[in-house]
Every structure is written in C-alpha cells, then in structure tokens.
Amino acid sequence: MCLWREGQRIDLPPKPFAVLRYLVEHAGRLIPHDELLDAVWPETYVQPQVLRTYMLELRKILGDNRDRPCFIQTLPRRGHRFVAEVSDDAAQPTAVEQAGAALLVGRERELQALQAHLRLASAGRRQMVVVSGEAGIGKTALLDEFCRQAAEHAGIAQGHSVKGLSGVERYYPLTEAVRGLREGPVGDAWSSVLEKRAPGWAGTQAGSEALPGDLCAALEEFSAARPVIVALEDVHWADEATLHFLSAIARRRAPAKLLVVVTCLSRDKGEEPRFGQVMQDLLVHGLMAGMRLERLSRTAIAELVSRKLEQPAPPEGLAAFVHQHSQGNPLFAIALLEHLVAHGFLVRIEREGAQVWERRNSLEEADASVPAGLAQMIELEIQGLPAEDQRLLEAASLMGIAFPAWAVAAALTRETAAAEEACDALARRLHFLERGGEDELPDGTRSSFYVFAHELYREVLYRRQNATRRAAGHVRIAERMSEAFAGRTENIARELAMHYEAGHDRRRAAAALHAAALYATQRKAHSEAAELLERGRSLAEHLPEPQRTTLLRELDGDKQPPRASSKAGRTVKKRHKKPDAFLTAT
C-alpha cells in the first residue's frame, strides 16, 4: 500500500505512513490517542507528543489545514478522525492518494550535488552527506525529491528520528529504514542478505543482538548489486547507538556503493550533545560532506507561490508579501499562503472560464496574526524548554527580532552578566537563536546581542506572555535605556515612547514622543514631527488632570526646542549585519 497523487508516488517515512493508514482504514471514526499509539507502536511506550509531530508532517504533505480540515480532523484531548471520502475502487486513487506532496523550488544546485555524490557511490566510493538548516527550510522536501528521482536504480532505506525517543528505543531511525527497505521493491533480496549477515536486524525491532557492524556488512554486500541510499532525517534527535552506526559506516574502508544522507537542524544546535561531536568529527576528517540549506530568494518564493496556487501569475504583490513575511523560509511561506486563504484575503473566482485566485482585502491587514499551524509548531517547541529558558526568551521578545543581553537583564531584573551567560547557552543549543555580536551603550555598558532566526518565533514568544508581565518588562527596558543614554535621550526618544506605550505608561510615552518630535524638527523632518506630536496628543488625552493640560501645552509648542546635541547620531557599535532592532520595541 502506497500514497499516490495523480500517478506519482509520494514517499512517506514508515511511521507517518502507518499513522495515516490506520486513520484511513477507520475513516469517519474518532480514533483516541491511546488507540492510535497502541496500533502504530505495539508493546512500546511512546510519548503522546510524537503524534503531534506526525500530524504536523502529514498535514504539510496533504496540504491540509488544522482549522478547516479536508483530511484529518483533530479534537483536542480526544483524538483524530479522517474526514475525507475514501473509495475502495482500486482503479481510482483515494482522496489521500490525491493529496499534494511537499513543494520543492530553488534547490536545483543542492539536488545536483546529491546526484553527484550518488554517482561517486555508484562507482564504489561510499559517500556520506549531512544536510543542515533551520526548521522548515526544506530538508525533508529535498531529500524526498532526491530519493524519488533515484528510486529507479537505487535501493532506498529511509528513517526518521523522533524527539523524545532517543532514550526509549535504540536504533529507532535505522529500524525504520531497514523495515522500509524490506517492504520495498527489493525486499526479498534485502531480507536474504539480512538473514545471512545481520540476523539481529531481521525482526520488526532491533534487539540487543543488533550490532552496528553487522548492519554495515549487510549494506555493503547488498550494495554490490545496486547502489543503496540510506536517508535518515532529524539525526539531532537520534539515539547514541544510531550515532555509533553513522560513525562506523563512514570509517569502513571496503568499497561499497553506499550513499548515507542525514538531515539535521543547523549544526551544533541539536539537543543531544554527542550529536554535534560525531558530526564535527566526521566533517573534520573528510568522511562527510556538509550541505547547508539557505533561505529561498525572492524569485524562488515567487515560483513557490505560483506552484502552490497553480496559477502562473499570482495576484499583484502577493509573492513580495509572502517573501517579506516568510523571510525565505518555504514552510513559513506555504503556511502564510494557507493562512491568507483561510481568512479570506485570497479567494478563488471564475474569470473568463477559468478559476483564478484574487485578493479581496489588503494583505497588510494579515500581519496581525501568526498562521495557526506555525504558531502551534513553535509553541510546542517552546513548551519543551525549561520554564527558566521560556521566561528568558519571552523577555528577549520585548525588544524585537534582535535583542541585547542588557535588555533581557532589565526586563527580568537580573545582572547583565548572568543574562548574557544564559543567552549564550541558549544560542549554542537552540536552532532558532544565534549570537550576533557585541553591543556597547553610551554609559560604557557592553553586552552581547542575539537574533531570532525568524520574526514568527519572536511574535509567538511575545504573545504568550500575559499583559501585566509584558507591560512591566517594557517599562523596565525603557528605564534602563534612559539611564544608559542619560544626556542624549533625544536620540532614542521614539524607541522610549514605544516601550512606555507598550507598558501602558501614557504620561512618559507622551513625554518621550514630545522629545522625539523636537528632535525630528531639529533634523527638519517636519512631517515626522507632526505625526509624533499627534500621537502624543492622543495619549495625553487619556491622562488625568493636571498632567493632561500640562502635557498638551508642551505638545502644542509651549516649550522651545533645545539646541541639537553635538553627540547626536549613532551611539551603538555593531559588528553584525542584522537589522537595527536593539532599541526598537513592538
């Protein structure tokens, strides 16, 4: 049994396929979590959170929407139901078989590189490649397309590491890969080699008698007749035994038509400390080639939009909007498109006898919310962190996509050195956070600054805080900024106003807007000054007397603008090309 779409096979790892198959076989019935876990992982304890991971993966492949499901309906704390119509007619593909596969654009160079490694492997020179990149960058889509193209002349063994299973089941991704190869077109020949060379691997699970050297020998013998691709995903979550196998297979000297491709989150960001050591050792000794996937260009995102909508010319401005807000991350781009459709910003109409997509509302109105599927994915990732780390990241989100350690320290009322050490530890461990450089304030304070990999991570972290804690953090950051820029706060008055307003301190926010307007006037930016004064008046109107009257007089020009400071201008030294966001609140 396979998954097909319009005559093309869609490759799915065995476990997600098993989950989907069980749902399809019981279509229309609500399947409780425990029943699904028992069916797919018999006699093995697996954390229920694993199902969430697979449901996200299946929805991505099926092009399904959690809020408006066409295939899989999720009932919180109860279970899942397959809701699409299922046909028993073998001559016609079912609704599942017609589901859309993951889209792959802008990866021609990477595909060609993998094909070059396969040619070397086919000549008897074993190859190992690690494909790394941030979450959602397209590692799975690239690997699936490569395996699809190679399936005609190579054996494919695919496995997938799952977060939380590294301490539960040894060799989990390898067991999955071995089983998949056994159930594929060359299954009989592979089973014969397994029985002879690696009997400990011949069962449904790798037991204590399953040795990595035996599996290496079996793969080497089996590859004598045809090249073999061993594709293991998310090895940053792999168990130590699987890492021992990767180290062993890379170091063996016998000729073999083997290509081992593994994917992982950006190197040195995995949760398993040993993972980074193993990969780094193989790279340093030339036993593994590295391939890092970068974000897609504007042109590639435009192609992705066209293919997703099945429309050569998407609505005007849509591709640019998606590129800007996804920042070139393909998973985020697809989720954003689905979000626009679900909320009526994109609608399908009939024009000249054809169905086309059209904009119905201003796309800028869609900025107010994170696509539900992405928000859930990011939230699950954050929930898996210790509470202390969550609080630190939430404090960081008060500044923007880039933030300095001193701001985190201010929001949490900590010492800057302690906050910096905590941020450094997170940047080494988390794939969505990196250290950007060093920041120096006018009062001489120096601290490192950091950058979120994507604005959506910052937005989820910002919104998950209650209003009271968020407001208090903004005010503390503004107060620390005022201390650091004492005597030259006109340079940062606008940023101060944003923080005070977010902290519901209208008096200080209006006063800061007044100072910002005066500074804009000095720079002859009169339209900007007028805009700032109008905003200040709006805030002042909500103040009690006599503060209201006094501040309105100032905003109406009762005070003369001070002379420009000789030290006006840039005061923050940066050694990084990230956006100037250290002094910009949200």
For 413-453, how does the pLDDT look when each residue is reduced to its tens digit (9 = 90+)? 999 999 999 999 999 888 888 888 887 888 787 889 999 98
For 487-518, how does the pLDDT look when each residue is reduced to its tens digit (9 = 90+)? 788 888 888 989 998 999 888 888 888 888 88
- The length of the chain in residues reads 586
Q: Note the pLDDT of residue 167.
A: 64
The C-alpha angle 19, 25, 29, rounded to 5 degrees, equals 90
Say yes or no: 258 and 335 in one domain: no
Instruction: Assign residue 410 the CATH number of its domain.
Output: 1.10.10
Say yes or no: 124 and 71 in one domain: no
Q: Which residue has the higher pLDDT, 585 or 175?
A: 175
Asked if residue 88 belongs to a domain, the reply is: no
Please, which pLDDT band fits residue 8 given cuts at 50, 70 and 90? low
Torsion sign, CA atoms 336, 341, 345, 347: positive
Instruction: Assign residue 186 the CATH number of its domain.
Output: 3.40.50.300
Q: Which residue has the higher pLDDT, 529 or 394?
A: 394
For 90-101, how does the pLDDT look when each residue is reduced to its tens digit (9 = 90+)? 444 333 333 334
Torsion sign, CA atoms 95, 97, 102, 104: negative
Say yes or no: 288 and 318 in one domain: no
The DSSP result for 190-228, as a single string, is HHHHHHHH-GGGSSSS--TT--HHHHHHHHHHHTTTS-E
Q: Note the pLDDT of residue 183.
A: 81
Last residue of a domain, one of 292, 310, 345: 292
Q: Note the pLDDT of residue 417.
A: 92
Contact criterion met (CB below 8 Å) for 492 and 532: no
Last residue of a domain, one of 261, 292, 323: 292
For the ranges 86-90, 321-325, 374-378, the lowest mean pLDDT is seen at 86-90
Contact criterion met (CB below 8 Å) for 501 and 431: no
Q: Which residue has the higher pLDDT, 529 or 47?
A: 529
Taking 60 as the threshold, does the pLDDT of residue 156 lie above it?
yes
Mean pLDDT of 262-280: 69
Asked if residue 526 belongs to a domain, the reply is: yes
The DSSP result for 281-323, as a single string, is HHHHTTSSEEEEPPPPPHHHHHHHHHHHHT-SSPSTTHHHHHH
Taking 60 as the threshold, does the pLDDT of residue 152 lie above it?
yes
Q: Which residue has the higher pLDDT, 102 or 258?
A: 258
Asked if residue 211 belongs to a domain, the reply is: yes
Please, which pLDDT band fits residue 154 given cuts at 50, 70 and 90? very high
Q: Note the pLDDT of residue 430.
A: 86
Q: Note the pLDDT of residue 368.
A: 57
Q: Note the pLDDT of residue 441.
A: 80
Query: In Å, how far are 115, 221, 227 from 121, measured between CA atoms?
Result: 10, 14, 7
Mean pLDDT of 255-284: 78
* CB contact burial 472-481 (16+ within 10 A = b; e otherwise): bbbbbbbbbb
The beta strands (E) that lie in 72-162 are given as: 72-75, 79-82, 127-133, 155-160
Mean pLDDT of 3-16: 64
The C-alpha angle 199, 204, 209, rounded to 5 degrees, equals 40
Say yes or no: 276 and 305 in one domain: no
Q: Note the pLDDT of residue 26.
A: 82
- Print the domain residue range for 397: 385-485+571-586
Q: Is the peptide bond before 546 cis (omega within 30 degrees of 0)?
A: yes
Q: Is the whole-model pTM more than 0.75?
A: no
C-alpha 452/C-alpha 282 separation (Å) is 29
Taking 90 as the threshold, does the pLDDT of residue 216 lie above it?
yes
Q: Note the pLDDT of residue 92.
A: 41
Highest mean pLDDT among 12-26, 29-43, 54-68, 120-134: 120-134
Q: Note the pLDDT of residue 119.
A: 95
State the chain's mean pLDDT as an integer.
81
Residue identified by tokens 């501040």 is 551
Query: In Å, how far are 133, 276, 313, 428, 452 from 267, measured between CA atoms?
Result: 8, 7, 37, 10, 16
Instruction: Assign residue 30 the CATH number of its domain.
Output: 1.10.10.10
The beta strands (E) that lie in 392-535 are given as: 402-404, 433-440, 446-452
Number of domains in the chain: 5
Asked if residue 448 belongs to a domain, the reply is: yes
Q: Note the pLDDT of residue 206.
A: 59
C-alpha 465/C-alpha 284 separation (Å) is 43
The amino acid present at 5, given as its one-letter code, is: R
Of all residues in the chain, what percent carry a pLDDT higher than 70? Answer: 84
Mean pLDDT of 121-127: 95
Asked if residue 100 belongs to a domain, the reply is: no
Q: Any alpha helices (H) in 223-253, and if so which ranges?
A: 240-251
C-alpha 133/C-alpha 294 separation (Å) is 7
Q: Note the pLDDT of residue 64.
A: 80
Taking 80 as the threshold, does the pLDDT of residue 559 lie above it?
no
Highest mean pLDDT among 53-57, 119-123, 453-457: 119-123
Say yes or no: 508 and 546 in one domain: yes
Say yes or no: 315 and 366 in one domain: yes
Last residue of a domain, one of 292, 326, 361: 292
Say yes or no: 562 and 445 in one domain: no
Say yes or no: 477 and 409 in one domain: yes
Say yes or no: 499 and 581 in one domain: no
Please, which pLDDT band fits residue 43 given cuts at 50, 70 and 90? low
For 365-408, how does the pLDDT look when each residue is reduced to its tens digit (9 = 90+)? 766 567 777 788 788 889 888 999 999 999 999 998 999 999 99
Taking 70 as the threshold, does the pLDDT of residue 278 lie above it?
yes
Asked if residue 103 belongs to a domain, the reply is: no
Q: Note the pLDDT of residue 580.
A: 39
Say yes or no: 169 and 231 in one domain: yes
For the ranges 54-58, 95-99, 544-548, the lowest mean pLDDT is seen at 95-99
Please, which pLDDT band fits residue 125 given cuts at 50, 70 and 90? very high
Q: Note the pLDDT of residue 97.
A: 35
Contact criterion met (CB below 8 Å) for 477 and 412: no
Asked if residue 96 belongs to a domain, the reply is: no
- Report the relative pairing of strands 72-75 and 8-10 from DSSP bridges: unpaired
The C-alpha angle 552, 553, 558, rounded to 5 degrees, equals 145
Say yes or no: 400 and 367 in one domain: no
Query: In Å, how far are 306, 424, 471, 499, 570 from 410, measured between CA atoms?
Result: 46, 17, 13, 13, 22
Asked if residue 93 belongs to a domain, the reply is: no
Contact criterion met (CB below 8 Å) for 396 and 423: yes
Q: Nearest to residue 222, comparing CAs of 248, 196, 251? A: 196
The first and second tokens of residue 323, run together, are 């590129």
**CA-based diameter of the chain, in Å?**
94
Mean pLDDT of 550-565: 57
Q: Three-state SS for 8?
A: strand
Q: Note the pLDDT of residue 468.
A: 94
Say yes or no: 355 and 416 in one domain: no
The first and second tokens of residue 507, run together, are 């008096």
